[in-house]
């Protein structure tokens, strides 16, 4: 019988831009939740939230780049579910990137 691999080794088998963006997004979203607890020190919370939103915006920018690379693949059929899923992910990533970038700039410029 073949030896089964656990999900962590399967996830990191073909390490690419997708895994980097997902890890950054995960860390950024956890930091955003942590930043909600800094209510007493408003200035520190605003700086921390601005930096955290910058990290999340970077993660969404990497998602946009990855989805653009997938869409530029000539082997992908335009009627396939993978193509449609990539288009939806690209649109969602672009909207989330714009919101995070606006939040980052707003938090850092209103100090």
pLDDT digits 0-9 by tens, 29-74:
999 888 888 767 888 888 999 999 999 999 999 999 999 999 998 8
Residue 55 placed within a domain: yes
**Domain of residue 38, residue span:** 17-109
Pair of tokens at residue 59: 């993660």
CA atoms of 25 and 20, how far apart (whole Å): 9
Is 8 within the bounds of a domain?
no
Supply the pTM of this predicted model: 0.86
The number of folded domains in the chain is: 1
Percent of the chain with pLDDT over 70: 95
pLDDT at 2 over 70: no
* Residue 3 lies inside a defined structural domain of this protein: no
68: left (phi over 0), alpha (psi -120 to 50) or beta: alpha
Residue 1 lies in a domain: no
**103: Cα separation from own chain's centroid:** 15
CA atoms within 13 A on the CB side of 101: 10
């Amino acid at each position: 019988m073949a030896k089964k691999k656990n999900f962590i080794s399967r996830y990191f088998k073909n390490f690419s831009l997708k895994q980097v963006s997902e890890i950054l997004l995960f860390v950024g979203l956890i930091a955003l939740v942590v930043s909600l607890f800094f209510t007493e020190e408003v200035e520190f919370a605003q700086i921390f939230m601005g930096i955290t939103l910058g990290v999340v915006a970077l993660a969404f920018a990497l998602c946009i780049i990855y989805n653009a690379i997938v869409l530029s693949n000539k082997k992908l059929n335009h009627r396939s579910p993978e193509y449609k899923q990539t288009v939806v992910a690209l649109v969602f990533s672009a909207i989330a990137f714009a919101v995070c970038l606006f939040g980052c700039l707003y938090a850092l410029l209103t100090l």
